[in-house]
Structure 1
């Protein structure tokens, strides 16, 4: 059933069209009728019908004006112009706005039926094409993970290099800096029968879906392989808990082999993890085995290799421009990693993430986006290409110097920072931006930003942000294109009622007053 809106200043037209639709059992539902152009626009925007029938000679907007506006907003809509005028000028204008058909009063029932059936046929064909296109799109989306996994698995089997595999892993995982740390292979078996036969228990990917947050999951025969870019005590505990739950629910036993990557190719680690897991199945070895690292490393570095806490602490040194203290803190981290004999690959991955996070968080406020990208690429290449730990440490310190020196130079020009902050607020007023967030963007403390902002603008941060939002809200309301709720959302307010309260307090009249005025101007009052 298709929706139809009719706009005509003669009530008899409504009755006539309804009678023709019912008599010929056309799949059309009249969802709204209007006697003027303004009401027609409102109904069309409300119901978004597939079919519209418009009289040319109506109060307010005439039919052709309504048709022109609706065609721009709804290009697939079937628009019929109905009028008593036969002059060529009207026909030409109707053609100019691409109406579907042009009907002259008094309309003959057969002519109306023929015009509507033609439109209905086209609408049905369009819907069918759209459904087919959507079905193909869904099918492709459903096949994408399968195809990508098969491609990655095949490349691993063919011993392809990390340079070939990493772009695919990053594309599939959706993480730009995906860097494998370990490969985990899981396989299981059911309890032996009385005859001593051993039946494999396939590992289901859906049982380990939470590990999509830590890497890429691949299935190979009865074995599940996790290529992880995140590994610490928390991840290991989650893995052990998931295995225990699966064993309890499915009545089987699992063997887990975790092979730390270190400096070996990913394809080699992948094969060794699977081979060891299959060997464990043969010998019925239950539990978790970690290869590629010593027992000491397994217990000592697994909790400390995650740099999340390190980053949080170091962030304060950057904001306060305490470069020496920041380097001293990082020196203690390096000394700890050296004492614990962390594998080089894990050190590199952790420091790459650490440096890229710094550039993503603060570099964009100091340098153009293109330069930040080049700095990230150069930093990654430098860390991976370093010949010893001292060189790695030197590259980290160089990045710290680049960021803090540029930030300190900006700090010396408080007026420039405020100008940047004003531009940032103008560009992001519709978001939930706090003074703390703005201060971090420009690499200064919240207290410092508060002081200089008041000094150079004469207003506090929240008052200035309110000025921006209220001026923008007024522009949107005067345009008449948006409701009060829509304007509230577009100017950073989650609640329309609170927005109305702030607006009335700011302008001494409610936002609804501007909506009424804009509506009067359009209707010519």
Structure 2
């Protein structure tokens, strides 16, 4: 059974229709061409007919066709002149020349404007079909490439806005932002609750004079406004009010502070998000900034993040974050940060840097302080890791004749350095710890009542049962035999 071709209506629904304008001064030929196209190409729509060059120029501007069949010899403005004017206004339109004259000069002249084909009158149906199919294929390929470019740009912008939402900003993010918006002087965030991305974008296209990128994140639309001038709070507030009125009364728009330093954009996003949440919770206003006292909480968040970075011993990240936010931190904020970092060392029994807060006057002073704090934290965690490794080694080999040197070698440290580290970690020296492990194991084996005391002595690392007995008695205040008899009486 022969499959029916889709109708023009179905093609239009799919967005695959190709639009053609016919420019031909001979009425009969023009009508014949239109009928031929409409009967044989349901994916093509004839959007207009022009009987001369001037009319072709007017209709091209009014209808924006994909292709124009252009007769060369027409009264008044001829085909080549019309092509030149149309091309100047809309260079993407493609042309198929139609002429009764086989002239190479015409074709050569027309090549300047990207003429796709040259058909001699009376045009054979096969030639017309081939010409249309060639142009149609080229237009479809161009649309696919354009769609791919748009999709690639959208993905790039979505990735960018996601990165701009999170501090600290990476250098690569700022480079990408400046590459997409080379004119950028300042920027800020909107967070729009209870609205779709398309509605927000449509509203901004009509109301904003700034460029923007937007992304739907669950139930909110996150917008980053990018301006070629310094944004002021009144500017973005007025824009948000117009946008809210455009979208409707159901939406809430939180606004972040304009950022001249691009590194402050994540803070603008946090402010905008918090403002949108508060607006929706209060239900009194639809648009607004975060109150000043709430912004102070964001400063507290910066201090908490700095504290977390230092606790991990991440020196470079700590210094970079301080550089980005130090202008936003008040003297009180900096003193709080100083005290929290010192306390974080003290509670871990780490001696803090001997630098007084009053002496920290420059950024370099802070860099030195942060460097020392991170180094001490890193040493602390490294020592914990080393001690854990040593502990595992001791528990695996306690029944052998192991020494402090054996354990130190297992973690690649000198015996003296390891001995000091071990005592600091456990509050006892290596021999005391090894003895404790052996005695605990011996006690457990005696309670099992499976092995003789002599066997247990060898099993916990003592070759001399008498020495084992003396050590056990010193540890538990009774000999192994007395302890065994006590167990058996129960």
Shorter-chain TM-score tier: 0.3 to 0.5
Q: Which has the higher contact order (CA 8 A, sep 6+)?
A: 1
Which TM-score applies when normalising by structure 1? 0.35
Which TM-score applies when normalising by structure 2? 0.37
